[in-house]
A and B are shown apart, each in its own frame.
Chain A
Amino acid sequence: MALDQSFVGRTYPPTEPYEVGREKIREFAEAVGDPHPAYTDAEAAKALGHPDVIAPPTFVFAITFKAAGQVITDPRLGLDYSRVVHGDQKFAYVRPVRAGDRLTVTSTIESVKSMAGNDILDIRGEVHDEAGEHVVTAWTKLVARAAEEA
């Protein structure tokens, strides 16, 4: 079933703040096997000009994708989440995410398309810190594959 085109441009309310924890960053860096000291050693991060340990570039996806959940599960949009695969992902950074950040995400539906029975949804997540400064934007393309013929 084609998605409702009137959802293009719709913006959802900002999420509650997510507080970025030092140990959460360490856990993520270990999970991707990345020993870069800027992720775990505040002094190493400071030597690079950062006020505290920073998160690996893709860390923020866990936060923006959770925020996108309010779009994906919006019953008025009608996306069949059981058929969804991740198509594209992009980030544009103003600065790296770092320990102590309290981040909110504002999700906007950028585009809704149907191609060959697949529903394609582009969601933009704008991430801001507690001071209201823009930190990063995440673009997520989700593809709901066409239901197979019975």
Chain B
Amino acid sequence: MFKTIANLQIGEKAFIEKLCLDNIPLKLLEMGCLPGIEVQLIQKAPMQDPLYIKVNGSHLAIRKETAEKITIVNY
């Protein structure tokens, strides 16, 4: 079972494993979501969506559907 950013607990950190490049638009890469980079889940919006993450020094909010496409590996 793949673990994705959407599975993270608030405050939990992990590394981005690989992006499903075909599904992930270029923009996310450009915003700093790169393979091998540490990602932390900061907060979830009230309905568990969108997710507020910290990655590569940037604080971003992405929708759950996008987060589910980014697989992670734990420490």
Q: Do A and B bind each other?
A: no
